[in-house]
């Protein structure tokens, strides 16, 4: 018999085993046969098209049977090259041998060469990631998508778990960032296998985390880094990667080296040589322990594999590896969901370390968005939009949620929608997340999807009703038949006195609220009963509002159609009808913001119009709107264009989003936060023209004179302007001229207030704050200089004037403010002080029916003489009201800091000539000491015993004095 015939006979004798065991070697062998023209194009295409390696091998065997001895011999040569271990095993089996003996190991050169080829193979196979929605041929480079999540290396206490589950938005991000034990390592392996405080390095590491937290991608990144030489080259000679999903497919006995070869291009023979050469420098990475179908409950009593090459049930081989019976000196890294951590810990060798993937912190979320979008403008808009939505931003700690949101935004952008016009509803993002986990992270469900969702919903509802986020094991198993198999629950062990306590939770409170809403959709009767309770409650419980919001989102047509199509879950029409009735019942201003979010989730235009039309006036000024609130507001008002009045508080960055709504609303009252000079044009565009502008408050770090001029010019085009308040950089002479021009050429205004930023120390500002009033024929001017401490108190802290509007042109505002500023550049001890005060007061001599209030830290004899000078100079313009208040305003303008009425100042005014038709009022703390002996520069001035609160009134020739223990304000 010739050489080809002998080889062909061997192939024929073992073809059934070859079909089962050739595995990944089938395509390299088929490639060589095709290149050597031993396979036709049609046969080769059929082999490639087969779904599994076994199916590929079955097609190839049929070709071998029809191809003759030459083709079978060529196939045998392929086995020698690509499946040498299998070939040798079959030969030994034929000879009746039970073990390997007398084998010559490969040379050192061959060993190095095989490892280099293995690394190249890993780089080819693992440099790409396949996304959940990838089409055939789609790929994304791992390096362009991967962001290392936060990993902590300790157990967390119950309180920490509870806080993490309940916090949202910025608070949540700060919490998980603070939980990171140390700075992020560039090499995650260095951190995972580093020595502990006692100098002990773990031989095995458990990396636990909820579904979608990035365990598998992190494992892939570790493999790729090792193969690329980026990290870990000096620590490990070889790294093996076992995917538990693939181990579940093994249907026959296999040795450990065969199992390790499943996800590599190394032959079992090559792996055996590597393990024999350097077992201490080998890392085995086992991904997805929770997905194994094997039972490890009695693993300690099972007979495990005895050597690397002995065939055993795959459960025994894997148990031997995990427990350290095989490769005891190697390192193990095992990823798992927390539901299987205690089982894994019981099997795994010691010393072992538990670590946990927390997910993305705010920094990692931002970095992920940046990598995903690359284009700076799109990235920034997308990230800021999501950050404004507390629920979604919290959920972004899960990399899967990050991917879903980024994918949705990119699709909107590709469809031509501006990203800030709004995300999909929050509910739609959560539904997508649930479907992804059910499809890709939930193996071998023992119950139908609707049944699983309903049981999870029952558990979630109990938690919402009882304000509970951690559940004991007994109650969970009562509600959910297989909690360990659910990708939506996490399992945690806590110490409770002398024993362990097992607790479960949803990934976050928001998911618990979502599943509660889903439960009500699946159980209409339960929903009806709960809604009846809400109707009879005068004040609905706020902790249930998110559930109602998710309920509205589930009634959204697109979401409900998706539920029906993908998992045959129907939303009863009566649910939406009852929700709409509930919304109409509770649409008061106290629930306005929340109702708008419900309407946005519902996305039912006709009903939204019906709900919003009943308001006509909308007051949402009590708290600043975030971007999600603005999306909801814009959507609802676009459904109801004939809207009359808005009172809003929002950030300047939302001006573009709100522009269309603000432009067409006839009456506005606005508070705009963080307004900068660059935002003024957007503000003017949003205001439009011919508005009843009841109030406009512009908070910022300080606008320039040019911006103030532009804003006032725009206000000329409005019907009326009620109250205007603007934070400015400085109040300068130019500012005064701009205001003078406005008030002299415009009659339709009531109040204008300018204030400098309290953090601004620029001495060029003529004053800290300035207010102008125009009501009932009276013009009023209020000028103030703020101060933080008595030691820095201004010479003149405040002056308030009131006089007839008809005489408004008699005031030179620029010169008046300059005189006010000049006084505060001096102290009473300066020679020119009295002259500067006279200069200021001289602006008041020509007014009739004048009211003046002056505030200064001290009423001294000098101030008393200047007040008398004012009264004498204005005696022709009666009646006259003059008040002196001793004190000044704090630096934030919110607190009145009392000053002193010195005895010599009081006596000077009391002994001066009386003017019957003039009223003089003096308020402050009366000091019985002389000016030189008084401790007036102290923060505890009110507590000094010799000071007493007093109000002195000199009117119609009479002097009255009212003493009080309380300071007058």
- What number of other Cβ atoms are within 10 A of residue 103's Cβ? 10
The contacts found for 583-586 with CB under 8 angstroms, 24 or more apart, are 583/611, 584/610, 584/611, 584/614, 585/535, 586/540
Which pLDDT value is given to residue 179?
A: 58
| Across 11-15, 181-185, 317-321, least confident range | 181-185
Which pLDDT value is given to residue 459?
A: 94
Burial of 779: CB neighbours in 10 Å, binned 0-12, 13-18, 19+: buried
Q: The whole model's pTM is what? A: 0.74
User: Do 375 and 413 form a contact (C-beta atoms < 8 A)?
Assistant: no
The stretch 637-646 carries a mean pLDDT of 86
Q: Determine if the peptide bond prior to 245 is cis (ω within 30°).
A: no
Q: How far is CA 231 from CA 5, 265, 583, in A?
A: 50, 21, 57
Strand 900-902 with 858-859, pairing: parallel
What's the CA gap between 692 and 753, in Å, rounded?
A: 18
Which pLDDT value is given to residue 968?
A: 38
User: Do 213 and 398 form a contact (C-beta atoms < 8 A)?
Assistant: yes
The contacts found for 127-132 with CB under 8 angstroms, 24 or more apart, are 127/224, 129/217, 129/220, 131/403, 131/407, 132/403, 132/436, 132/439, 132/440
What's the CA gap between 840 and 817, in Å, rounded?
A: 9
Q: Best-predicted range by mean pLDDT among 35-44, 236-245, 376-385, 806-815?
A: 236-245
Model confidence at 219, pLDDT cuts 50, 70, 90, reads very high
Strand 692-703 with 900-902, pairing: unpaired
Secondary structure of the chain: what % helix, strand, coil (to 5)?
50, 20, 30
Does pLDDT of 498 surpass 80?
Answer: no
Model confidence at 234, pLDDT cuts 50, 70, 90, reads low
For the record, the structure tokens of 948 come out as 């007493």
What's the CA gap between 240 and 274, in Å, rounded?
A: 11
| DSSP symbol at 233 | T
The stretch 424-443 carries a mean pLDDT of 85
What's the CA gap between 33 and 530, in Å, rounded?
A: 69
Show the DSSP H helices in 644-751 as ranges: 655-664, 680-687, 705-715, 733-745
Model confidence at 707, pLDDT cuts 50, 70, 90, reads very high
pLDDT tens digits along 547-579: 999 999 999 998 999 888 887 888 888 888 888
Strand 858-859 with 489-496, pairing: unpaired
| Across 44-48, 169-173, 243-247, 336-340, least confident range | 169-173
The stretch 637-649 carries a mean pLDDT of 88
Q: What is the largest CA-CA distance in the chain?
A: 144
What's the CA gap between 59 and 50, in Å, rounded?
A: 8
Going by C-alpha positions, the residue among 881, 876, 723, 729 that lies closest to residue 801 is: 881
Helices vs. strands in the chain: H and E counts, helices first: 40, 28
| DSSP symbol at 156 | P
Does pLDDT of 915 surpass 60?
Answer: yes
For the record, the structure tokens of 7 come out as 């080889």
What's the CA gap between 130 and 137, in Å, rounded?
A: 10
Model confidence at 371, pLDDT cuts 50, 70, 90, reads very high
Model confidence at 420, pLDDT cuts 50, 70, 90, reads very low
For the record, the structure tokens of 91 come out as 């030969």
What's the CA gap between 117 and 125, in Å, rounded?
A: 12
Which pLDDT value is given to residue 945?
A: 55
Which one is predicted more confidently, 766 or 278?
766
Residue 631, phi then psi, degrees to nearest 5: -55, -45
What's the CA gap between 961 and 487, in Å, rounded?
A: 78
User: Do 125 and 233 form a contact (C-beta atoms < 8 A)?
Assistant: no
Which one is predicted more confidently, 901 or 306?
901
Does pLDDT of 314 surpass 80?
Answer: yes
User: Do 57 and 48 form a contact (C-beta atoms < 8 A)?
Assistant: no
For the record, the structure tokens of 305 come out as 């594999």
Does pLDDT of 533 surpass 70?
Answer: yes
Which one is predicted more confidently, 539 or 472?
472
Q: Identify any residues that bridge with 691 across adjacent strands, giving them in sequence order.
A: none
Rg over CA atoms, the chain: 40
The stretch 191-197 carries a mean pLDDT of 83
pLDDT tens digits along 103-126: 444 555 666 778 889 999 999 989
Strand 880-889 with 918-927, pairing: parallel
What's the CA gap between 355 and 204, in Å, rounded?
A: 11
Going by C-alpha positions, the residue among 235, 313, 227 that lies closest to residue 264 is: 227
Task: Give per-residue burial for 168-203: e unless 16+ CB within 10 Å, then b.
Answer: bbeebbebbeebeeeeeeeebbebbbeeeeeeeebb
| DSSP symbol at 305 | P
What's the CA gap between 955 and 837, in Å, rounded?
A: 24
Which pLDDT value is given to residue 969?
A: 36
Which pLDDT value is given to residue 511?
A: 93
Mean pLDDT of the chain: 84
What's the CA gap between 924 and 942, in Å, rounded?
A: 10
Q: How far is CA 583 from CA 128, 143, 554, in A?
A: 48, 48, 15
Which pLDDT value is given to residue 274?
A: 85
What's the CA gap between 80 and 154, in Å, rounded?
A: 49
For the record, the structure tokens of 554 come out as 């589930």
Q: Best-predicted range by mean pLDDT among 283-292, 431-440, 564-573, 636-645?
A: 283-292
pLDDT tens digits along 822-862: 998 888 888 888 899 999 998 888 887 889 999 998 999 99
Which one is predicted more confidently, 51 or 588?
51
| Across 59-63, 539-543, 758-762, least confident range | 758-762
What's the CA gap between 725 and 669, in Å, rounded?
A: 12
Which pLDDT value is given to residue 100?
A: 41
436: left (phi over 0), alpha (psi -120 to 50) or beta: alpha
Which pLDDT value is given to residue 536?
A: 64
The answer for residues whose C-beta is within 8 angstroms of residue 493's C-beta and 6 or more apart is 155, 341, 342, 500, 501, 502, 503
| Across 28-42, 74-88, 407-421, 643-657, least confident range | 407-421
Residue 50's Cα: distance from chain center in Å?
45
The percent of residues in the chain predicted with pLDDT above 90, rounded, is 33
Which pLDDT value is given to residue 539?
A: 55
Judged by DSSP in three states, 735 sits in: helix
User: Do 626 and 389 form a contact (C-beta atoms < 8 A)?
Assistant: yes
Does pLDDT of 493 surpass 50?
Answer: yes
Which pLDDT value is given to residue 85?
A: 66
Burial of 7: CB neighbours in 10 Å, binned 0-12, 13-18, 19+: buried
The contacts found for 636-641 with CB under 8 angstroms, 24 or more apart, are 636/596, 636/599, 636/600, 636/608, 636/611, 636/612, 637/612, 637/661, 637/665, 639/605, 639/608, 639/609, 639/612, 640/608, 640/609, 640/612, 640/613
């Amino acid at each position: 018999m010739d050489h080809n015939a002998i080889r062909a006979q061997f192939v024929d004798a073992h073809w059934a085993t070859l079909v089962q065991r050739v595995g990944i070697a089938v395509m390299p062998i088929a490639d060589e046969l095709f290149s050597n023209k031993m396979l036709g194009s049609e046969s080769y295409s059929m082999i490639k098209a087969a779904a599994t390696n076994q199916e590929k091998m079955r097609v190839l065997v049929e070709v071998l049977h029809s191809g003759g001895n030459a083709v079978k011999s060529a196939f045998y040569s392929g086995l020698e090259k690509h499946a040498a271990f299998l070939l040798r095993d079959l030969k030994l089996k034929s000879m009746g041998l039970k073990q390997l003996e007398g084998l010559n190991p490969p040379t050192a050169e061959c060993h190095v060469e095989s490892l280099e080829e293995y690394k190249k193979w890993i780089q080819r196979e693992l440099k790409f990631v396949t996304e959940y929605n990838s089409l055939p041929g789609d790929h994304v480079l791992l390096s362009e998508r991967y962001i290392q999540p936060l990993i902590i290396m300790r157990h967390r206490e119950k309180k920490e778990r509870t806080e993490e589950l309940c916090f949202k938005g910025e608070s949540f991000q700060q919490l998980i960032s603070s939980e990171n034990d140390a700075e992020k390592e560039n090499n995650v392996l260095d951190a995972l296998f580093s020595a502990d405080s006692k100098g002990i390095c773990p031989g095995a590491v458990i990396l636990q985390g909820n579904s979608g937290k990035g365990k598998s991608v992190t494992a892939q990144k570790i493999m790729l880094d090792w193969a690329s030489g980026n990290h870990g080259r000096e620590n490990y000679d070889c790294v093996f990667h076992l995917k538990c999903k693939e181990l579940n497919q093994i249907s026959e006995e296999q040795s450990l080296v065969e199992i390790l070869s499943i996800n590599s291009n190394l032959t079992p023979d090559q792996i055996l040589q590597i393990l024999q050469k350097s077992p201490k420098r080998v890392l085995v990475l086992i991904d997805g322990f929770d997905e194994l179908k094997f039972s490890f409950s009695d693993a300690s009593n099972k007979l495990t594999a005895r050597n690397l090459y002995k065939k055993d049930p795959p459960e025994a081989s894997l148990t031997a590896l995990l427990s350290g019976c095989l490769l005891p000196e190697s390192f193990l890294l095992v990823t798992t969901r927390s539901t299987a951590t205690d089982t894994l810990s019981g099997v795994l060798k010691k010393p072992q370390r538990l670590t946990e993937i927390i997910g993305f912190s705010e920094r990692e979320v931002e970095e992920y968005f940046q990598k995903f979008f690359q284009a700076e403008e799109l990235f920034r808009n997308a990230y800021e939009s999501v950050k404004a939505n507390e629920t979604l931003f919290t959920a972004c700690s899960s990399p899967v949620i990050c991917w879903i949101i980024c994918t949705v935004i990119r699709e909107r952008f590709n469809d031509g929608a501006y990203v800030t016009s709004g995300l999909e509803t929050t509910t739609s993002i959560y539904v997508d997340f649930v479907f992804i986990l059910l499809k890709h992270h939930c193996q071998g469900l023992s119950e139908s999807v609707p049944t699983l969702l309903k049981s999870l919903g029952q558990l979630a509802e109990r938690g919402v009703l009882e304000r509970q986020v951690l559940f004991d094991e007994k109650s969970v198993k009562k509600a959910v038949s297989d909690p360990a198999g659910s990708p939506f629950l996490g399992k945690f062990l806590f110490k409770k006195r002398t024993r362990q306590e097992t607790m479960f939770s949803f990934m976050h409170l928001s998911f618990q609220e979502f599943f509660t809403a889903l439960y009500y959709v699946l159980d209409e009767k339960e929903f009806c009963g709960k809604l009846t309770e809400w109707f009879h409650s005068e004040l609905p419980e706020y902790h249930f509002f998110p559930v109602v919001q998710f309920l509205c989102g589930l009634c959204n047509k697109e979401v409900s159609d998706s539920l029906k199509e993908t998992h045959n879950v129907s939303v009863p029409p009566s649910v939406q009808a009852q929700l709409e009735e509930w919304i109409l019942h509770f649409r008061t201003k106290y629930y306005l913001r929340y109702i708008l979010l419900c309407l946005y989730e519902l996305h039912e235009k006709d009903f939204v119009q019906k709900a919003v039309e009943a308001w006509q006036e909308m007051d949402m000024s009590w708290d600043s709107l975030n971007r999600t609130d603005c999306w909801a507001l814009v959507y609802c008002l676009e459904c109801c264009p004939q809207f009359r009045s808005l009172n809003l508080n929002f950030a300047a960055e939302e001006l573009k989003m709100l522009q269309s709504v603000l432009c067409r609303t006839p009456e506005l009252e606005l508070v705009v936060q963080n307004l900068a000079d660059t935002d003024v044009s957007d503000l003017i565009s949003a205001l439009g023209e011919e508005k009843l502008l009841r109030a406009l408050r512009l908070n910022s770090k300080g606008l320039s004179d040019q911006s103030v001029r532009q804003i006032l010019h725009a206000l000329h085009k409005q019907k009326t302007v009620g109250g205007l308040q603007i934070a400015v950089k400085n109040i300068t002479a130019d500012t005064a001229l701009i205001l003078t021009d406005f008030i002299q050429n415009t009659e339709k205004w009531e109040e204008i207030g300018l204030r400098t930023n309290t953090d601004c120390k620029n001495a060029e500002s003529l004053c800290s704050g300035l207010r102008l009033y125009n009501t009932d024929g009276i013009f009023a001017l209020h000028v103030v200089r703020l101060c933080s401490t008595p030691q820095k108190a201004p010479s003149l802290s405040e002056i308030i004037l009131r006089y007839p509007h008809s005489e408004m042109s008699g005031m030179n505002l620029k010169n008046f403010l300059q005189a006010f500023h000049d006084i505060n550049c001096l102290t009473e001890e300066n020679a020119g002080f009295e002259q500067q005060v006279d200069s200021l007061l001289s602006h008041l001599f020509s007014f009739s029916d004048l009211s003046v209030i002056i505030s200064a830290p001290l009423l001294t004899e000098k101030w008393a003489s200047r007040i008398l000078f004012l009264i004498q100079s204005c005696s022709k313009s009666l009646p006259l009201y003059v008040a002196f208040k001793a004190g000044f305003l704090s630096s934030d303008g919110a607190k009145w800091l009392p000053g002193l009425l010195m005895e010599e100042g009081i006596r000077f005014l009391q002994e001066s000539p009386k003017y019957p038709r003039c009223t003089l009022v003096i308020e402050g703390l009366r000091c019985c000491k002389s000016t030189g002996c008084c401790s007036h520069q102290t923060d505890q001035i009110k507590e000094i015993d010799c000071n007493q609160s007093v109000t002195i009134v000199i009117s119609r020739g009479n002097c009255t004095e009212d003493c009080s223990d309380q300071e007058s304000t």
